[in-house]
């Protein structure tokens, strides 16, 4: 395996990193100009970077087992290189001169589990470029560029949550985000609690096509209601005259925004858990982005001692569930829930707290 010394011919000029995110409340609200409450993951993506010294970009990742090389006038092929190239091209579009670079990427974030490994790669790349080239870029603008890289270069029509969370969240507080204004502030976790994140082991197959379908349904609902975005609807009764499925989609978004606003005021651990459960039921019944495995995993989590609430996290159709637990009970609750869930030969596994045997692996 190529290590950083071989790759750079010595030490890299700069190192940077960025976390993934776990969203606790506010799902499918970001592209409706709404509100959300993610936290950063303990897992991070690390980017080492130097000027390349020739006229080619060279990207390498032992984690993705991938090498990408391209001349400065051409493009990276689709894959992990497109996220990095997107960041480079968009920084250039800001009028900043970017020389050909060598970029080395490692990560302990699981890919495809809904923890936003792509946002972590974009934010870590932009942080490394900012450190190497010394240009001014605040953390909100950085998140916006990272989101554009995802939309324009990885061709995923996403909202701003993941990149804002990766750029501004920390592991111990939640980050309240207003997706319209990008106003954001840290909110304390409910007292004496900790989180569990469990991967269902089910890949998110339909996520991309259904994601775009849900976006279109929400845009249609806001057109019919005569508002710029569903964030502008604050009375849940207003959606009841819509045809189906716009009515159910809009009901989810309006109520989910209200849940985030309530939680961001600071609620008890028990109430936060109830809001998470209500969010899951709404994603299952009204937004229809859950699958039976995620429902079942959440039920097993809710049944485990010390768990206050559980929901799917991220876009849905597979990926991970998050649960709020009483402090000190997370690891055991996750193990209990997984023992039941994995009985049918499933591949569920704990992602957070990071299992001891995975700590320090990069
Ligand atoms: P994930 O779970 O990372 O695919 C997606 C969107 C977010 C947000 C959530 C749903 C991407 C990259 N991100 O997250 O912007 O809309 O779904 O809340 O598609």
Last residue of a domain, one of 173, 188, 203: 188
Which of 162, 249, 279, 291 best tests ligand 1's pocket when mutated (most atoms within 8 Å of CB)? Answer: 162
Q: Are residues 259 and 176 in the same domain?
A: no
Q: Element (H or E) spanning 36, and its range?
A: strand 35-36
Question: Which atom of ligand 1 has the smallest separation from the CA of 114?
Answer: 2
Count of CB atoms situated within 10 Å of the CB of 215: 17
Q: How far is the CA of 253 from the centre of ligand 1 (A)?
A: 14
Query: For the chain, which ranges sit under pLDDT 70?
Result: 1, 206, 359-362
What span, in angstroms and rounded, lies between the C-alpha atoms of 38 and 25? 7
Q: Are residues 19 and 152 in the same domain?
A: yes
Contacts 24+ apart (CB under 8 A), 223-226: 225/250
Last residue of a domain, one of 145, 166, 188: 188
What span, in angstroms and rounded, lies between the C-alpha atoms of 330 and 323? 8
Which pLDDT value is given to residue 360? Answer: 55
What span, in angstroms and rounded, lies between the C-alpha atoms of 202 and 80? 22
Find the CATH number of the domain harbouring 303. 3.30.70.890
The number of residues in the chain equals 362
Q: Are residues 25 and 73 in the same domain?
A: yes
Can you give the residue range of the structural domain that contains 80? Answer: 5-188
- Active centre residues (catalytic): 162
Q: Are residues 109 and 184 in the same domain?
A: yes
Q: Are residues 248 and 107 in the same domain?
A: no
Q: Whose CA is nearest to atom 13 of ligand 1?
A: 158
Q: Are residues 154 and 255 in the same domain?
A: no
SS3 69: strand
Q: Element (H or E) spanning 45, and its range?
A: strand 38-51
Which pLDDT value is given to residue 189? Answer: 97
Question: Which atom of ligand 1 has the smallest separation from the CA of 26?
Answer: 18
What span, in angstroms and rounded, lies between the C-alpha atoms of 31 and 27? 10
| CA distances for 46 relative to 62, 73, 94, 140, 149, angstroms | 12, 26, 24, 20, 18
Question: Which residues does ligand 1 sit against, CB inside 6 Å?
Answer: 27-28, 30-31, 114, 116, 118, 150, 156, 158-159, 161-162, 314-315
Q: Are residues 118 and 210 in the same domain?
A: no
Q: How far is the CA of 159 from the centre of ligand 1 (A)?
A: 7
Q: How far is the CA of 50 from the centre of ligand 1 (A)?
A: 31
CB 118 within 8 A of CB 162: yes
What span, in angstroms and rounded, lies between the C-alpha atoms of 161 and 257? 14
**pTM of this structure:** 0.95
Q: Are residues 284 and 316 in the same domain?
A: yes
Which of 21, 152, 211 best tests ligand 1's pocket when mutated (most atoms within 8 Å of CB)? Answer: 211
Q: Are residues 184 and 198 in the same domain?
A: no
Question: Which atom of ligand 1 has the smallest separation from the CA of 316?
Answer: 2
- Structural domain total, the chain: 2
Which pLDDT value is given to residue 1? Answer: 64
Count of CB atoms situated within 10 Å of the CB of 281: 14
């Amino acid at each position: 395996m190529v290590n950083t010394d071989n790759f750079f011919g010595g030490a890299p000029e700069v190192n940077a990193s960025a976390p993934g995110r776990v969203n606790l409340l506010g799902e499918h609200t970001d592209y409706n100009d709404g509100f959300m409450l993610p936290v950063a993951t303990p897992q991070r993506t690390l980017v080492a970077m130097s000027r390349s010294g020739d006229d080619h970009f060279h990207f390498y990742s032992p984690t993705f087992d991938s090498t990408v090389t391209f001349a400065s006038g051409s493009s990276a092929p689709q894959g992990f290189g497109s996220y990095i190239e997107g960041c480079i091209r968009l920084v250039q579009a800001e009028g900043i001169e970017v020389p050909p670079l060598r970029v080395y990427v490692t990560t302990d974030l699981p890919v495809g589990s809904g923890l936003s490994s792509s946002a972590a790669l974009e934010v870590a790349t932009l942080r490394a470029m900012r450190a190497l080239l010394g240009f001014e870029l605040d953390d909100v603008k950085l998140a916006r560029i990272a989101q554009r890289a995802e939309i324009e270069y990885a061709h995923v029509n996403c909202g701003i949550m993941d990149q804002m969370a990766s750029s501004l969240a920390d592991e111990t507080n939640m980050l309240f985000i207003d997706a319209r204004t990008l106003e954001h502030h840290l909110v304390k976790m409910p007292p004496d609690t900790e989180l569990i994140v469990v991967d269902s082991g089910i890949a998110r197959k339909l996520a991309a096509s259904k994601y775009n379908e849900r976006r279109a349904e929400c845009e249609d609902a806001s057109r019919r209601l005569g508002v710029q975005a569903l964030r502008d609807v604050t009375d849940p009764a207003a959606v009841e005259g819509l045809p189906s499925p716009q009515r159910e989609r809009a009901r989810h978004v309006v109520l989910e925004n209200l849940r985030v606003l309530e939680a961001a005021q600071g609620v008890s651990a028990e109430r936060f858990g109830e809001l998470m459960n209500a969010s899951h039921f709404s994603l299952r019944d009204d937004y229809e982005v859950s699958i039976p495995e995620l429902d079942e995993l959440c039920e097993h989590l809710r049944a485990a001692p010390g768990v206050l609430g559980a929901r799917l996290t991220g876009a849905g159709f597979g990926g991970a569930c998050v649960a709020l637990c009483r402090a000190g009970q997370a690891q055991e609750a996750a193990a209990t829930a997984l023992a039941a869930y994995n009985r049918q030969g499933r591949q569920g596994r704990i992602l957070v707290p990071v299992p001891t045997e995975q700590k320090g692996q990069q």
